[in-house]
Structure 1
Amino acid sequence: MLETAVLMLLLTPLVSQEETMKCYTGDPLPVPHEWYQLGCLLIGGMASHISYIVNKVTFVEHPSQNLFDFPDVITKFYQHNLALAFAVNEINKNDNILPNVTLGFHISDSYDSARMTYRTTLDLIFKAHTFLPNYKCGKQKPLLAIIGGLGSDTSFLMMDIIGLYKIPQLIYGSFAPDEIQTMGAPPFYRMVPNENLQYTGIIWLLQHFRWTWVGLFVIDDNSGDQFLRILEPLFSRHGICSAFIRRIPKDARMEDFINNFNDASPIDVSFQERKVGTMITYGESLTIFWLRTYIFSQDSGNKENPLFRKVWIMTMQMDFILTGAARGWGFQMFQGAISFTIHTQEVPGFREFLQIIKPNWTQGDGFLKDFWEQAFDCFFPDPGVPIMDDDSCTGEESLESLPAGLFEMHMSGQSYSIYIAVYALAHALHAMYSPRSKHRPMLVDSNIELQNLKPWQLHSFLRDISFNNSAGETVSFNDKREMRGGFDIMNLVILPNNSFQKVKVGRIDPSDHEGKRFTIDEDRIVLPLSMCNEQCHPGHQKKMKEGEKFCCYDCVQCLDGKISNQTDMDDCFKCPEDQYANKDRNGCIPKVNTFLSYEEPLGLTLASTAVSFSLTTVLVLGMFIKHRDTPIVKANNRDLSYTLLVSLLLCFLSSLLFLGHPGKVICLLQQAAFGIIFSVAVSCVLAKTTIVYLAFMATKPGSRMKKWVGRKVSYSIVIGCSLVQIGICTVWLATFPPFPDLDMHSVNEEIIVQCNEGSVAMFYCVLGYMGILAIISFMVAFLARKLPDTFNEAKFITFSMLAFCSVWLSFIPTYLSTRGKDMVAVEIFSILASTAGLLGCIFCPKCYIIVLRPELNSREKLIRRKC
């Protein structure tokens, strides 16, 4: 597997030019004058080489060569070397940091080999003219710190050796959290923030864009396992599902890589998963290179491939790299990708520094020739050999002409970490020799020379280091030896020449003083949906599919009375009591206050009917008063008839209390007045039938009923029966009186303004007592219906009581089954119907005789019928 260069910093005192020349291995080489301040520049090979054989795909520019059949270098990583040199050069020119001290450095390659990493580390520490581990022979330059490497494997291998000598190691690559937590004390100074912040950023990004159905490409190693162990529980807690997990093999040979992908046929099906709009990829520097190689080896850049229409989210370890024969493929499938990157700033002067780089810039750089040949796809001919073609390097090529996949002119996140790592070491040395340093008493000899420094003495100064770099940012470590700060969120924009630009669209910074821990400019990026199914629109809720992940669901409309006003709601909710759900069930509408008023047709009709019956009753009463001395009026207790007519008149008028907006006084009068007046009316009817029955019973020989026939008995019945109802109503009003109330639940779209009975039991007691009186009256009238008499009205009372009882027996179920205005209308109708029944059945026959048959209303006719 490819590995970046191990960067090692060698610190030396200021020496003469002659001594500096002796630092190079091999014969002394000329050094440009401007690089005198760099001191010893020892270059030991180029950043990692790769050599793979793939027979499936041929290199487009060179059809005769198979892909990866020659050594190749990662030209993009050469910027790391230049960032180190640039930082050292700046420090050596700055008299305010380390006056009279020159920093030197040595860059070596790990070759992705444990053996080479161990050998290079030992060689750097102990080599003089011969390699003798644990011995220093001759004059040496003190090695005080090491910077490297980009991969965790290399850093841990170096730590096995330099940890024994307590040499500080500053790493600029990312590590899985558990790789360091298991070691107790932090073994490194990490120039990047903790990776846990990246997990939080991924969840936040998915939630922000409502991506709940995502695919995962994860490198197949321990760090990939750790990534899944942390991320998948976070997915579950935040409502996100993984449609598939694709493991990317970590193979050293491309042919093994391709075979592993081909064997994973179940995952190939997932490539066609159209609903997965977001792919999260976790790996290392060359993971994108491997993934892109596989896609092109299978589909040769077909843009109809569904993977070309996805949004890729890349973790900070990954990079977009072009190398060798694969440089012609480009990154079109990653257009619009979002990547978390190590935070970087443009350092003043760095771009100008890169512009002057030429193949002959220094003879000490052993990497530059390989880099130049690979970057510009040319070669430097051997001296004395004639040039056979036009592929030779002129040395005038410009780094700015290279696509970003080969080399970037702006400082990358890793290069920026290396840059500030060099400055951190320089400031630590500066603090070490500052008289005001709080750690200076820890030094054995306060006058110690730099040449005799021990690496372990640097740790206490590095831990507490804090300074502002040339980019204007504060550099410091936390208590876990991690660089404070956050990550940048970049958006990949592919250019027509297969190059790309990274546009900063957001930031993750836990230390933001304004509280904006996550920021993103979503207007600058165009993104697809990434869900298992279409969103549930407002008015609908999720319904889980049996046997599917919770991110896959159906959308069902909210039930009556409930709404959802957002997309993808788990449950609908009820509107407030004074509102109701609209037709689409995505919003609430205020309810309208309703009551049975005089203005609406139903109320007007009932009011007109009540007034008409009232006038009719008044007319009958006037007729009876006018003909009060006629036999038909006097026959059945004239006073009871007057009382009954007045009570019927009040019954008709009491129905008007149920119309209009109910107030406190109206609610108190409604049911009580209705109950008392009706009880008086029914009591009068009972008294009439009782007197008729007693009168005829008294005519029998030897009957003792004569003493019961008279006005006292009839008055006693009316007054006694009415007082019982008055007592019931008094108790009702004194304990649980009716009151104005708002019924918000009975009718969906209305608030019913009504009179609450207060005590339902007392209300039914009033109705029940009135019903008992009516039944008794009916029974007495039924018994007296066939008694002979000219003006016997018992049979008419029987019919009136039958109508009265029928109305009120029908009233109870109808009243209970209706709500709002309908319920009030039912009660008014029952009052009018039952009262009209009494008026019609009892008084209509008499009015007929008085008006139309006056000849029957005479004493002679009465006597003749008796005879």
Structure 2
Amino acid sequence: MRSLAIFSFIQPYQLSFAFVICCGAQSLGCFSFFTHSSFSISFIQRQKTFLVKKWETLNTRCCPRMEIVNLRDFRLAQIMIFAIEEINRSESLLPNVTIGYRIYDTCGSRLSTMSATTGVMNGQDFGLGDRCNGHPPLHISPSATCECLSNRKYYPSFFRTIASDYHQSRALVYIVKHFGWSWVGAVNSDNDYGNNGMAAFLQIAQEEGICVEYSVKFYRTETEKLKKVVDIIKRGTAKVIVSFVSFVEMGLLIDQLSIQKIAGFQMIGVESWITTKNYITSSSFHSLGGSLGFAVRKINIEGFADYVIKEFWDTAFPCSQSEGNSSQYALNCSRYEELLALKIYNEDVPEQRYASNVYKAVYAVAHSLHSLLKEHYFCFVNWQQDSDGLFQFKSVGYYDASLPPLQRLISLGSIFLKELGTYPKKPSSVCSESCPLGTRKAAQKGRPVCCYDCIPCAEGEISNETDSINCKQCPREYWSNEEKNNCVSKNLEFLSFTEVMGIVLVFFSLFGIGITVLVAILFYSKKDTPIIKANNSELSFLLLFSLTLCFLCSLTFIGRPTEWSCMLRHTAFGITFVLCISCVLGKTIVVLMAFKATLPGSNVMKWFGPKQQRLSVFVFTLVQVLICVLWVTISPPFPYKNMKYYKEKIILECNLGSTIGFWAVLGYIGLLAALCFILSFLARKLPDNFNEAKFITFSMLIFCAVWITFIPAYVSSPGKFTVAVEIFAILASSFGLLFCIFAPKCYIILLKPEQNTKQNIMGKTTSKSY
């Protein structure tokens, strides 16, 4: 006789079922099945004949103290027997091979469970018949979900027809995450099933950013510890509880919750208890209504219901009224009294879920179909109450571990959640509310990672997703909006024609141009009068023209900087002002030379006549033109986005290019202005009634004062105010020259025409007219 396989059924609540299949024409097959129930019965089938081990024999050896039969495990034994009989009747599957079985009871005891499991693994003989020997046994389980058994190093011959708790633990995490719960409590049985399952859940929950407020455990015999667990649940702030508890411990927990009338919690359960029908009552529904969890799929096995009702009892138990009189019946059947009480009960048959795994396990051994190991949890169960007040386990979806992570939880129907009615309404269970857009998480010291504060992003930073850990810095040319959830282009700042300051400066520029043109018209209309002739009309008109250009060039500083406007504004400013100062300088020299010409024997005016005056203006201006040409050629001004001064906006300005060129232009203007000021200052006390030198002195004093104060203001002014300061300096100096030099003449021409005579202008001096 050769051993083909042995496979164990290890229940999630530390119970073991074992199969041993032997082959050979005359072999004795043995199929061992450990249950949690209190019944003890051994079946040995030889050539499709059941041999019944006496009830009291096994009862004495395994369960000295009888307890109530566990109906679920009893049904598992029935489905196992049904599948074995089905295979043994088959002519195409395993011909000439008889499969047998043994059933060992664990009596709900850890010690008995270990004893029975050791017996199966080591071939300990608890019943009749020969023991299978030979190759290392193959263990197959329809209900052992512990991930630890997947370790091939320690369990090389273990296989199962149910997914390990790794998948269930991960699925529980996805349930919690799916509903947006990040703050949960955790309860588990203090056994291998609960400890390993909860350990996997806690690890995966941490990876997915879910925080566990508390994680407590208890065992069925630890009453005081159970009460402490319930007290922790009451005091906790988490409204969602993940319960990785075997069905025995869960019954005790439900009792305590019902007794203390604890409600308002959303319970997330596991397959061991989520479909336990005797747990769902009016009182338990008050505490656990709306519970969610994964259940083993139901399966409709053809013929099993009829087998449960009649065939099993007719063949498995030699106990019937027809076999003899009532006394004989009592003698034969008294030993099976507890089991016979289940004979007429068949309401739970449609709710059998592990039955499918047991059924498949038997066929897996017969077919050697290892592909069944890929079975996942697909059934997603919700505790609900229908309109008639009946409680039911409603399938509302399934979990498929073969799909991508975010697609594994598939919902098929409406979900009832505790206290809040139908999904999508759901209880909130978080330590801290989600951080909105524009904020980031800041961990609270000494608390779990799910407890955090929401800190607004700093200026220039954004977060465009909820619960952002960090704020992102906007690119250089972008800035955060007011909500700090989007980067927007920074505001471009430049002195425009449309803003108030730009409009005011344009007004004064045009006003200066208008006044200058009017003065030129007035001078042209009175060009033959003594006051015009006495002040060198040619230089006066050239000065008015240069002042007009000065007022015009101020407009080039307004508007969006471009490559051409940047070059034009600085070169035009430099050249027009040198032209202006050159004219003023020429007029000053003319005043001095005219006074020298009145001295006896002096003919100095022939060296500074109109041609020389024009030449001097041309030469002075040409020097500035050459400086500007060199500046523009070597390193010209260019438009530049200044992002250093302000973080939230960009200043559009003209970069000077070569600072040497800029200061050379200003320095040359300052040199001519200083020379003009000195000469006019020397001529300020000449004895003419109308001495133009003193007015030139005033104009140069204003000009120098404006440009001396311009330098620190230009350096310290930010953004568009720098341009405004430069325009103000141009306008102020231009108005100073215009009013100081031309206002006295206009006053005499318009208001004191009687003074516009040669005698009045020359006074007592009889000098030659200049």
The TM tier, using the shorter chain, reads 0.7 to 0.9
SS in 1 for 2:235: coil
Q: Structure 2 matches for 1:380-779, cutoff 5 A?
A: 383=330, 399-400=346-347, 407=348, 409-412=350-353, 414-428=354-368, 465=369, 475-476=371-372, 483-488=373-378, 490-495=380-385, 499-510=391-402, 512=403, 518-521=408-411, 524-525=414-415, 526=423, 527-574=426-473, 581-587=480-486, 603=502, 606-660=505-559, 663-689=562-588, 691-692=590-591, 718-740=617-639, 755=654, 757-758=656-657, 762-763=661-662, 766-767=665-666, 769-771=668-670, 773-778=672-677
Instruction: Give the C-alpha shift of residue 842 in structure 1.
Output: 1.7
Q: Secondary structure at the match of 1:492?
A: strand
Contact 2:494 2:652 in 1 (8 A): yes
Q: Tell me by how many angstroms 1:667 deviates.
A: 3.6
Map Cα deviations across residues 80-105 of structure 1 (whole Å, 9 max, x no partner): 22332343344345443323444332
Aligned to 2:35: none
User: TM-score, with normalisation over the residues of structure 1?
Assistant: 0.69
Distance 2:658 2:318 in 1: 98
Amino acid at match of 1:518: R
Offset, 1:109: 1.6
* CA RMSD after TM alignment: 4.9
Out of 104, 109, 112, the position equivalent to 2:105 is 109
Q: Is the 8 Å Cα contact of residues 556 and 569 (structure 2) preserved in structure 1? A: yes
Q: How is 1:160-199 mapped onto 2 (pairs within 5 angstroms)?
A: 166-174=136-144, 176-178=146-148, 181=151, 183-184=153-154, 186-199=156-169
Superposition deviation, residue 260 in structure 1:
1.9
User: Partner of 1:487: helix, strand, or coil?
Assistant: coil
**2:377 maps to amino acid:** F
For 2:117 and 2:104, locate their aligned partners in 1 and report how far apart those are by CA, in whole Å: 7
Report the AA paired with residue 539 of structure 1. G
Structure 2 CA distance for aligned equivalents of residues 184 and 126 of structure 1: 19
Could you report, residue by residue, the CA deviation over 1:619-671 in whole angstroms, capped at 9, with x for unpaired residues? 22233344445443344444332322111111122233344555543343222
Say which of 268, 277, 285 aligns to 2:231: 268
SS of the residue 1:271 aligns to: helix
Q: Normalising by the residue count of structure 2, what TM-score does the alignment of the two structures yield? A: 0.76
Give the secondary structure class of the aligned counterpart of 1:538: coil
Matches within 5 A, 1:159-308: 166-174=136-144, 176-178=146-148, 181=151, 183-184=153-154, 186-221=156-191, 232=202, 234-246=204-216, 248-251=217-220, 253=221, 257-262=222-227, 268=231, 271-274=234-237, 276-297=238-259, 299=260, 302=261, 305=262, 308=263
Task: Give the 3-state SS of the residue equivalent to 1:358 in structure 2.
Answer: helix
How far apart, CA to CA, are the structure 2 residues paired with 1:840 and 1:826? 21
Distance 1:784 1:320, change over 3 A: farther
The 1:107–1:799 alpha-carbon spacing in structure 2 relative to 1, beyond 3 Å, is farther
Q: Which residue pairs with 1:449 in the alignment?
A: none
Q: Is 1:362 aligned with 2:302?
A: no
Deviation at 1:809, TM superposition (A): 5.3
Contact 1:74 1:323 in 2 (8 A): no
1:791 correspondence with 2:690: yes
Conserved in 2, the CA contact under 8 Å of 1:849 and 1:857? yes
| Unaligned stretches of 5+ residues in structure 1 | 24-28, 50-68, 132-136, 145-163, 370-381, 386-390, 401-406, 429-464, 467-474, 477-482
Letter in structure 2 aligned against 1:493: W
The amino acid that maps onto 2:236 is E
Following superposition, the deviation at residue 215 of structure 1 comes to: 1.8
* 1:105-152 alpha-carbon deviations (Å, 9 max, x no partner): 222222334456545764898788x97xxxxx9xx56758xxxxxxxx
Alignment partner of 1:76 is 2:65:
no
* Alpha-carbon distance between aligned partners in 2 of 1:225 and 1:288, rounded to the nearest angstrom: 14
- Which of 19, 43, 49 in structure 2 is aligned with 1:8? 19
Residue from 85, 88, 105 that aligns with 2:81: 85
SS in 2 for 1:503: strand
What is the one-letter code of the residue matched to 2:346? L
Cα distance change, pair 120–229 in 1 and its aligned pair in 2 (3 A): closer
The one of the two structures with greater contact order (alpha-carbon pairs below 8 A, sep at least 6) is 1
Cα distance per residue 1:266-306 (max 9 Å; x no partner)? x83563333x2332233444342233233334x1xx2xx3x
Q: Unaligned 5+ residue runs, structure 2? A: 1-11, 33-40, 60-64, 321-328, 333-337, 416-422
Q: Is the 8 A contact 1:12 1:142 kept in 2?
A: no
Aligned length: 712
Aligned partners of 2:642 and 2:13: how far apart in 1? 76
Matched AA of 2:19: M
**8 A contact 2:25–2:97 mirrored in 1:** yes
C-alpha distance in structure 2 between counterparts of 1:487 and 1:282, whole Å: 15
Amino acid at match of 1:321: T
Q: Is the 8 A contact 2:184 2:213 kept in 1?
A: yes
**AA of the residue aligned to 1:679:** V
Contact 1:538 / 1:567 at 8 angstroms: preserved in 2? yes
8 Å contact from structure 1 (residues 42, 107) kept in 2: no
1:427 CA displacement: 0.8
**Superposed displacement of residue 220, structure 1:** 3.4
Q: Structure 1 residues 394 and 426 mapped into 2: Cα distance closer, same or farther (>3 Å)? A: closer
The AA in structure 1 aligned to 2:392 is: F
Distance 1:603 1:368 in 2: 112
Matches within 5 A, 1:323-334: 329-334=283-288
The letter for the 2-side match of 1:683 is: S
In structure 2, relative to structure 1, the CA distance for the partners of 1:42 and 1:612 (3 Å cut) is farther
- The alpha-carbon distance between structure 1 residues 124 and 233, as it changes in their structure 2 partners (threshold 3 A), is closer
Q: CA separation in 1, counterparts of 2:49 and 2:253? A: 42
- Taking the aligned partners of 2:732 and 2:318, their CA distance within structure 1 comes to 111
**Contact 2:13/2:246 (<8 A) preserved:** no
Give the superposition deviation at 1:188.
1.0
Q: Is the 8 A contact 2:688 2:762 kept in 1?
A: no
596 and 634 in structure 1: CA distance in 2 versus 1, 3 angstrom threshold? same
**Native 8 Å contact 2:593 2:608 kept in 1:** yes
1:288/1:318 contact within 8 Å kept: yes
> For each residue in 1:359-389, what CA deviation from the matched residue of structure 2 results, as whole angstroms up to 9, or x when unmatched?
77425657999xxxxxxxxxxxx9499xxxx
Task: Report the Cα distance in structure 1 between the residues aligned to 2:215 and 2:494, rounded to whole angstroms.
Answer: 63
Distance 1:628 1:368 in 2: 148
Alpha-carbon contact 2:275-2:295 (below 8 Å) kept: no
**1:155 — aligned with what?**
none
Match of 2:304 in 1: 353
Q: Counterparts of 2:742 and 2:378 in 1: how far apart (Å)?
A: 97
Out of 254, 266, 269, which is 1:311 matched to?
A: 266
Check whether the contact 1:777–1:801 (CA below 8 A) recurs between aligned residues: yes
